A = this chain, B = another copy of it.
Amino acid sequence: MESLSEFFQKITANREPSNLYTPIDYTMSQGGKRLRPRLVLMSTELFGGNTELAMYPAAAFEMLHNFTLIHDDIMDNAPIRRGKPTVYQQWNSNIAILSGDALAAIALQIMLNTPTRPEIALELSKLLAQTSVEVCEGQQKDLDFETADAVNIDEYLQMIHLKTAVMLAGCLKAGAIISDTSRHNQETIYRLGVHIGLAFQLKDDLLDVYGDPSSFGKKIGGDIRENKKTYLYLRALEEATPTLRTELLHYFSSTQFDDTEKFNAVKNIYEKLSIREKTAAAIDEYARLAYEDLEQLQEVSENKIPDFKNLIVELSQRNK
């Protein structure tokens, strides 16, 4: 996606102060999966829209995503992202706050300047703003969960819905809006995005325990080491006998355990409760719902349907 990189370069080229724009360049030029622009473009193709125009929402959502990463990394004290020091680590947290703020505002400028009818640019921008608010709500819930005594699975799903799924759903809906397709299609593709977003995040939780270290980008077992309340953990608590529950709570009460001992002990509890299979079944169910959404779309480019089926498989069955 060469032209997207060129798009990003133009945005910050020759702008100053450099302490504001260099961290933005640093972040945007790292790449990453570029999943969000890909979703905007795939959706635009599916609905027969103009992919040149779609570059604007594609770039805007990718920048919004990167803004959330810059700020989340401060909050999570994360030193490394995509194999490089995070912005707050490479510079400092003031620069990370401010360059994140600027990146969010520039993302919005790009969306507002989509060269299309004013109603459509306005609708796209409302979608971006709503996504931005919801992602903040999701991140706050995630922070709240760290210190919460009890979190149930519904609350967890609500959190990942906001933190992860609405952005993927927003990207797909942006492609539908820019293609000026029906309200029915806009809502259906949004729902499809929510379903693949939930599958995507549950798969992320699963890979933390059962991923292959050689293909999974992150270190295995990080969530367990950090006592992160993932789907696996919450499902295990729900399914556990009183004895296993006490054992699990014990391991998740401190970060002072030996990492390997803790990982193996927790994995052992998960195995007794078939958590791997139950999580995989939940992922499959979201993938199935996404397939159902796909079938409910009307007047789409039929030759693009296989791409979407592959996407659903890719995001729900991925190994990295």
Chain A interface (Cβ within 8 Å of chain B)? Answer: 16-17, 19-20, 71, 74-75, 93-95, 97-102, 104-106, 108-109, 112-113, 117-119, 121-122, 125-126, 129-130, 132-133, 136-137, 139-141, 143-144
Contact = CB atoms under 8 A, between A and B. Distances in A.
A71 B101 contact: yes
Contacts of A17: 137, 140-141, 144
A136 B71 contact: no
A96 B287 CA distance: 37
A97 B94 CA distance: 10
A118 B129 contact: no
B71 A133 contact: no
A140 B100 CA distance: 12
Contact of A101 (B19, B98, B102, B136): B136
A109 to B, nearest CB: 5
B20 A98 contact: no
Copies per complex?
2
A133 B112 CA distance: 14
Given A17-B140, A119-B118, A121-B122, A104 B102 contact: no
25 contacts: A16-B137, A17-B137, A17-B140, A17-B141, A17-B144, A19-B143, A20-B137, A74-B97, A75-B94, A93-B93, A95-B143, A97-B97, A98-B140, A101-B101, A101-B104, A101-B132, A102-B133, A104-B105, A108-B129, A109-B129, A112-B129, A118-B119, A121-B122, A122-B122, A122-B125
Contacts of A104: 101, 104-105
Contacts of A130: 109
Given A109-B126, A122-B121, A137 B102 contact: yes
Nearest to A76: B94
A130 B102 CA distance: 10
Nearest to A121: B122
